Amino acid sequence: MNKILYPKKEDWAKILERPVNKGEDLEKVCQAVFDEVARDGDEALKKYTWYFDRVKMADFEVTNEEFEVADREVAADLKEAIGLAKENIERFHEVQLSGINEYVNANGFRCWQEARAIECVGLYVPGGSAPLFSTVLMLAIPARIAGCREVVICTPPGEDGRVNPVILWTARLCGVSRVYKVGGIQAIAALTLGTGTIPRVDKIFGPGNRFVTAAKQMVGRYGVAIDMPAGPSELMIVADGTACPRFVAADLLSQAEHGPDSQVVLVTCVERLVEEVERELREQLDRLPRKSIAEMALKCSKYVVLNSREECVEMANLYAPEHLMLCVEDYMAWVPRIRNAGSVFLGNYSTESAGDYASGTNHTLPTNGYARAYSGVGVDSFMKKISFQEIRPEGLAYLGKTIEIMADNENLTAHGNAVRVRVESL
C-alpha cells in the first residue's frame, strides 16, 4: 500500500481517487448487448453467456429438482449459520416498516402518504470467484418484508451450467423460487427488457463488477429503476493509537480480497500505527488463498497520515466510503460528525465482516463516492410512497383564493378555473 504523510488539503481529492478501469468502452458494449437482447431475447442470452462465461445454456430457469439437489449438498453447519444471519437481518429490516404519515388541517382538508411495495423486482447475485449467497439474504429479505409480489434472481452459472447450491438453498429459505442462470450485462438487459423466459422487472437490485454496474446505469433509459450505483467494494478505516494493528490489517485484507479493483484506505494521525499495520498486513497476506487478488487491490490502496482527528473526519466525509470503520477510543463522539458513508462500524470489535454477513444491517451499499447522495438498501428501497388528499367543501373554500392567485400568476388559467367552478357551486 502507498504511504502518504501529512498531505496538503488541496491534494486530498487526488489522493482519494478510485481505481479507474481503462481500455473498455463499457457503455458501447452494454448498448450492443441490450440491443441484441431486445431483438433476440433468450437466444441473445445464450450467445452472451457463451461469449462472456464460456458456458452453453439450454434453459435458464432453475428447476425444482435443482433446488432439491442444492438442499442435499449444503452442509448442516452452513445452513445453521445462514439461519442465524437471516434472523438478525429480518429483525433489523422489520423495524424499518413505516406507517401512514398524515397531516390534518382543521379547516377541512387532510393529506397523507402510504407506502406500497414495488410489484416486480429483480435481484442480481454475483457468482464468479466468490458466489455471494449472503447477497440473497440482503436483498430477498427486505423484498419479502416490503411485500413485493414477484421477486426473481439472476446469478451467473458455473462452468458446469449449475448455480452454486448455497445460493439456491438460501433463495428458497428466503421464499424466492424463480432463479435464472444468467449473469453480467446480459442478465441486467434481460431484467430490463424481458425475454421469453425472464420477466421484465420494475427495479433491479444488487452489486456487481464494472460491467454490471455500467449496465445498471443504463436501465433508466428503458423505464426501469435501480437501487444505486454499486460497483467494486471499498473500505476506509480511521484509527487512533488505541486501534489494534492486527485487527486493522485483517479488515483491510477482508475488503482487498473482494477483487482487484477494490480499494482500502487507512487514515490516521498516529504515524507509528502505519508501520505496525503494514507488518501485520504482510504477514496475514501470505496466508490468504486469494492473495493474488488482494495484492492487486492493495496496489491502488493507501495509508494516509494526517495532522489531527478533525482532518481524519474531514477526509472520511470527502471520500464518502462504502464502508467506514472508526477504530478510535471515543467513537460515539465521532458519530454526529460523519455525514457521508454507506455503513459505519464503531470500535475495535465492530468488524466490517459482521455487516457483510450476520449482524443485521444491509451490505448492499453505495460505492465510488455515491454515499454522498445514496443510502444502502433497506425495506424502503423496495417500496414507493403514494400521497393521498381529501378536500371537503369547507376546505376548498378555505384554500380556493390561494390556489387561484398562484395559478393566475403562473399563467395557468385552467388550474385556477378548476377551483373557481367548485367554489362558485358551494
Instruction: Enter the C-alpha cell of residue 244.
Output: 489494534
Note the helical H segments in 270-392: 271-285, 291-298, 309-319, 331-334, 352-357
Question: What residues does 225 pair with on adjacent strands?
Answer: 203
Q: Are residues 245 and 210 in contact, defined by beta-carbon separation less than 8 angstroms? A: no
Q: Are residues 303 and 274 in contact, defined by beta-carbon separation less than 8 angstroms? A: yes
Report the C-alpha gap between 9 and 306 in whole angstroms. 10
Quick check: is 322 catalytic? yes
* Candidate list 322, 352, 363, 404, residue with the active-site label: 322
Cβ density class 203-241: b for 16+ within 10 Å, e for less: bbbbbbbbbbbbbbbbbeeeebbbbbbbbbbbbbbbbbe
Residue count of the chain: 426
- Listing DSSP states for 168-237 in one string gives HHHHHHTT--EEEE--HHHHHHHHHH--SSSPP-SEEE----HHHHHHHTTGGGGT-EES----S-EEEE
The SS3 assignment for 278 reads helix
For the annotated binding site for NAD(+), the residues are: 124, 186, 209
**Pairing of β 109-117 and β 101-105:** antiparallel
Quick check: is 17 catalytic? no
Q: Which of 352, 386, 366 is nearest to 319 (CA)?
A: 366
Q: Which of 301, 212, 223 is nearest to 265 (CA)?
A: 301
Report the C-alpha gap between 355 and 343 in whole angstroms. 8
For the annotated binding site, the residues are: 124, 186, 209, 233, 255, 258, 323, 356, 410, 415
- Listing DSSP states for 70-132 in one string gives HHHHS-HHHHHHHHHHHHHHHHHHHTT----EEEEETTTEEEEEEEEE-SEEEEE---TTS--
* Candidate list 93, 311, 323, 352, residue with the active-site label: 323
How many C-beta neighbours within 10 Å does residue 114 have?
14
Residues forming the active site = 322-323
